[in-house]
Structure 1
């Protein structure tokens, strides 16, 4: 590992990142809809169980069919995503496989088998099992999908906030010291809550959009109306929950990933009493000169709000990009080292590991590793440009996510008012707006993941392992070939899914 900086092909890093990003983006097109529709179909079957009205049974089966189509596509892309850790990121898998593999193994053994078992009962158990057992199977299918998301997000959160582990120089691996610290880290809990509630928003938007499409076509009015009601209730509640958990996410990011927060805000020079930027003129196509620019032009901000979100103190200190590079005083009175200091300590750790592996003065080198291992990854950083993520992507993706989140709250509230107080079939513009929620929800969801993943670059594991030290020693040409192969396959799969979903929606519920 200590020689990878000198031997790895930069094209291998770029194509490996591109391939993983491609797979993750396509996979995330299916996952949130699975989690969101699980709630919708569970609520509708609960209505059938309580009322025994055939309408609710028909409605539940309709949404279950759409769930099943999407579920199958999500499984296919998810399996490929996990295999890429071994094929494209083998050094990462070796370095932290003892930790990272645990939540993924639990996800496969527990959650995936749970949802696979109960999804069969849900689809084929009508008229074969009792209504109560079938209802339980429907909810357990959704619960299994949610538990699956939990363990995957635990693994992802650990990459962004590595806890519960220690480095063993004898094996050159990070080894787990506390499973509960990994599984129940505050970063993992908040990430799970924010991700799942945002998935409920997307599922609700999809349900509302389909209902509005039926109203525009003057078909299945009762299904459309009830779908809009349930979707709006779920969407409004989930939007508020996503906003609440998003607020806590900002605090967690400020504590553990200050460079990500600085990139999200295009904050070059930090300080006390920082305002939260609403809008600013940040060039979306080029990295700004963050070492000389005072702040983005045309900046409109809410006074003191960023300090309040990041430190829970309206006068709190929030570091900017330059502060993080030069070093800054922390709230607890300690001094955050500069990039130069971290690089020096990281190189000492790398050298100590080399010497330890060569059998030179193991005890002395072990002490160096214990002291400086937290900065190990900085030993691979050549200059500050490698440490700063691409600011325009983080800045604009964050504002798209937040702006659309506010729009969802407004639209769900209006739809809920109209569907209960007035004739929902009349304002056709509102129905068209309901349909537009579907693509907007996907844009918001993908924007959130762009912030989460682009913002932590260049780290595969925060402060511990940069991307170019984590990749497999493969030819860039081979990875480029599989990138375009996957692009073709995933696009074809997406086209097939959209086609099947559209046909099922046009067909409508089976009465």
Structure 2
């Protein structure tokens, strides 16, 4: 197994990663808007159900039309994304398919069919079912999309924090030992809550942006004002929740993926009472000399804040890149092995597995596998450089996400203030800011996923399977060809969606 995996063409790894990243980035342009608009249109239809005013029915149907266009595009890209696990990442699928496939199967059987069923009632049932049943269908469509996101995020969280499984040397596969541990791991819960609240935030920003355009054009004023009011309330609440859940996510990352946290902070040498970097000069195009530098130039930090976020203690110990490579002692007194030790134990596990599979099913080999299997992936690591993510991307993507998030909180609060003062229709400068929220929210959303995925490199599964051992044995030229075909396809789909959405927005609500 080891020799086969190490013989994979490096170009195959790079193109497989690029193709998956391309698909995921395009897919994530559609998903958060689906989740966010589901809340907005649900609230508006609830207003119609309670008041029976035709205005609210018209408003709900308008946002539902935009939801429908985006929903269809998200489904198309999502299906392709799941197929890539079997085509480009077959070693990964074989090694952990028993675990990873379960939440994806549940998502397809339960959540996707649920949202697909009720979305039909939502669009075509206005005059065919009772108002109460139609309202329930609208909310259940959004709930189905949210449940779908839950199972997909459970699968992603397991890749970053693999628990609830055991390795079976007879089948050469990781097998699920506890479904509950996989489905409700603390990492999965934090990832879900942070992702969903950030999706609501994006949906709110989209609602405010479209409505601000209407006010700028002096069209559909009542729809615009009420939509800004609802969008700003949803946005403010979700932004504050995203900040809170982000704090929990940082704590989990510090516990399970310390190298990712060190890359996010450009923290080369850790210690106790670490400050959170507010600003610093990190060259965005060059990996810093983390082996020799003590901290990035022109660093401005909030005292003790990183320790507080990472350990929930102001004087807690946070390891830097060099500490993780050389080994360090945690606050509880336990020692984290050095990279060299992990690599040695990983190679021991690979050798024991090879001997076991060769017929030497001895007690000694079993004991080595049980002891060192947690470091199995490190047996394929050749040097320290392979374990350090590209620091500049993680450093800047994290700050872009946080900075835009703080700006959105201020804008949503300002929008509500101007609505309260009844000045929202006259404040043209605020309308331009509202329109700018749409691209800003997307940038923040994509930046968050860049940190989550690039920050865990080189691992396909944390500590268990590096990327170059997870790919299929395919020609890099074939993957490069499909990369550009997907690029053309996804870009065309995005252009079509934007064109349809713009036409629907220009058309406005049906009166």
Using the TM superposition, give the Cα deviation of residue 490 of structure 1 relative to its aligned residue in structure 2, in angstroms. Answer: 0.2
The TM-score with structure 2 as length reference comes to 1.00
SS in 2 for 1:274: coil
C-alpha separation between the residues in 1 aligned to 2:196 and 2:67?
16
- Structure 1 alignment gaps of length 5 or more: none
Q: 1:178 is matched with which residue?
A: 178
Query: Cα deviation per residue 1:232-265 (whole Å; 9 max; x = unaligned)?
Result: 0000000000000000111000000000000000
Give the aligned partner of residue 390 of structure 1: 390
- Cα shift at 1:470: 0.2
Specify the alignment match of 2:165 in structure 1: 165
Partner of 1:357: 357
State the partner residue of 1:491. Answer: 491
Map of 1:310 onto structure 2:
310
- Runs of 4+ residues deviating >4 angstroms: none
> What is aligned with 2:7?
7
Query: Which residue is equivalent to 1:74?
Result: 74
Query: Is this contact kept in 2: 1:59–1:223, CA < 8 A?
Result: yes
Q: Kindly indicate whether the alpha-carbon contact (under 8 Å) linking 2:270 and 2:323 is maintained by their aligned counterparts in 1.
A: yes
| Within-5 A mapping of 1:46-125 | 46-125=46-125
Query: Contact conserved, 1:36 with 1:201, CA < 8 A, in 2?
Result: yes
Q: Supply the distance in 1 between the matched residues of 2:302 and 2:61 (Cα, whole angstroms).
A: 47
Q: Distance in 2 between the 1:49 and 1:135 partners?
A: 7
C-alpha distance in 1, partners of 2:279/2:508? 43
Q: Distance in 2 between matches of 1:329 and 1:54?
A: 65
Deviations 1:295-337 (A, max 9, x none): 1000000000000100011111100000000000012211100
Please name the residue that 2:264 is paired with: 264
Q: Is the 8 A contact 2:205 2:235 kept in 1?
A: yes
In the alignment, structure 2 segments of 5+ residues that lack a partner are none
TM-score, with structure 1 as normaliser? 1.00
What residue in structure 1 maps to residue 473 of structure 2?
A: 473
Could you tell me how far apart the structure 1 residues matched to 2:459 and 2:96 are? 14
Q: How many residues in Structure 1 have an aligned counterpart in Structure 2? A: 511
For the 8 Å contact 1:30–1:74, the answer to whether it is kept is: yes
Q: Could you tell me whether the CA contact under 8 Å between 2:273 and 2:317 is conserved in 1?
A: yes
Is the 8 Å Cα contact of residues 5 and 380 (structure 1) preserved in structure 2? no
* CA RMSD after TM alignment: 0.6
Q: Could you tell me how far apart the structure 1 residues matched to 2:4 and 2:446 are?
A: 32
Deviation for aligned residue 1:497: 0.2
Q: How does 1:376-387 map to 2 (within 5 A)?
A: 376-387=376-387
Q: How does 1:234-249 map to 2 (within 5 A)?
A: 234-249=234-249
Deviation at 1:5, TM superposition (A): 4.3
Alpha-carbon distance in structure 2 between the residues aligned to 1:53 and 1:72: 29
1:255 aligns with 2:255: yes
Measure the CA separation in 1 of the matches of 2:271 and 2:214: 53
Tell me how far apart the structure 2 counterparts of residues 331 and 117 of structure 1 sit (CA, whole Å). Answer: 51
Mapped partners of 1:3, 1:439: distance in 2: 46
Conserved? CA contact 1:4–1:468, under 8 Å: no
CA distance in 1, matches of 2:362, 2:404: 55
- Offset, 1:367: 1.1
Deviations 1:321-373 (CA, angstroms, capped at 9, x unpaired): 00000000012211100000000000000011100000014322111100000
Distance 2:101 2:385 in 1: 31
